[in-house]
Amino acid sequence: MTRAAIEERIQKLGPWFYEFDLGDYGRTPSELPPEVLGIHQTRLEMVNRVVDAHFVGRLAAIRCLDIGCHEGFYSVAMARKGVQQVVGVDVREASLEKARFVTDVLGLRNATYREGNCERLSPRDPGEFELTLFLGVLYHLENPMLCLRNIGAITRELCVVETQVIGEVEGSTEWGSREWTRAYQGAMALIDESGEFYNRNPETGASPIAMCPSPKALEFMLKQAGFRRVETIVPPPDAYEQHRRGKRVVCAAYK
């Protein structure tokens, strides 16, 4: 495509959530306010740190599944790093159209995209991956534990999860009798995303019900999904403000 054709396509596909650097063809204009835009670079820096440390010298031999890939920002980043094959999955075809466009403009041959829902992932389809990314998705889901079990079944080595978290809740509750109690394993908050969902906001999940975990709940759920070790990644000093304050976390979950 010519530069004029690419610029026209950028306008036609808008509005954009991510700001992509398209080299000689300019940048896609993100609709996010400047003070929020930094969240994407913070995520990427933290993901790169974990991925580079774990797959040192092996990137060209691994497969990566980017779950809830949206416009393909992190799929593109992994493809540009030299990952052998990147597959992006999202529930919205309109977002995948943008991802395919960016990938084509950048000439990346190792990234593909498909429509899909993390509630229906299985080792039969789309297969198993050494690396899975689950970024900015968990807290938009109605069935987060189901999705984490599905992800655990298809991840061979490492899953990187980034999510909003609620404040920690600790204590115990009666469990069948006044004399019988059980300790909490963290907590989940029920969030109503009806307004965004029914207005077709592409940043919501596949239903108007969202479940947001506390940090302890997230770690417990990841271990129940089959990951033997879970590490919370320390954000960089210049991180997005929610990461600095612990309101969003990045976890590395290892098989």
Task: Select the CATH number that applies to the domain covering 39-254 from these four: 3.40.50.460, 3.30.1360.230, 3.30.559.10, 3.40.50.150.
Answer: 3.40.50.150
Q: How far is residue 151 from each of residues 104, 147, 198, 208, 253, measured CA to CA in Å?
A: 28, 6, 27, 22, 11
| pLDDT in the model for residue 2 | 87
| pLDDT in the model for residue 35 | 94
CA neighbor of 44 nearest in space, from 133, 169, 172, 113:
133
Domain boundary assignment for the chain: 39-254
CA distance 28 to 5: 14
Is residue 112 a contact partner of residue 89, using CB atoms and an 8 Å limit?
Answer: no
| pLDDT in the model for residue 206 | 85
Q: Check whether the bond before 236 is cis (ω within 30° of 0).
A: no
Is residue 214 a contact partner of residue 165, using CB atoms and an 8 Å limit?
Answer: yes
In sequence order, the 6+-apart residues with CB closer than 8 A to the CB of 245 are none
Q: Supply the pTM of this predicted model.
A: 0.94
| pLDDT in the model for residue 122 | 83
HEC per residue, the chain: CCHHHHHHHHHHHCCECCCCECHHHCECCECCCHHHHHHHHHHHHHHHHHHHHHCCCCHHHCEEEEECCCCCHHHHHHHHHCCCEEEEEECCHHHHHHHHHHHHHCCCCCEEEEECCHHHCECCEECCEEEEEEECCHHHCCCHHHHHHHHHHHEEEEEEEEEECCCCCCCEEEEEECCEEEECCCCEEEEECHHHHHCCCCCCCCCCEEEEECHHHHHHHHHHCCCCEEEECCCCCCCCHHHHCCCEEEEEEEC
CA distance 115 to 94: 10
Cα Rg for the chain, rounded, in angstroms? 19
Which residues of the chain carry a pLDDT beneath 50? none
Is residue 220 a contact partner of residue 168, using CB atoms and an 8 Å limit?
Answer: no
| pLDDT in the model for residue 238 | 95
| pLDDT in the model for residue 82 | 97
| pLDDT in the model for residue 202 | 82
| pLDDT in the model for residue 123 | 80
Across the chain, which distance is largest between two alpha carbons, in Å? 74
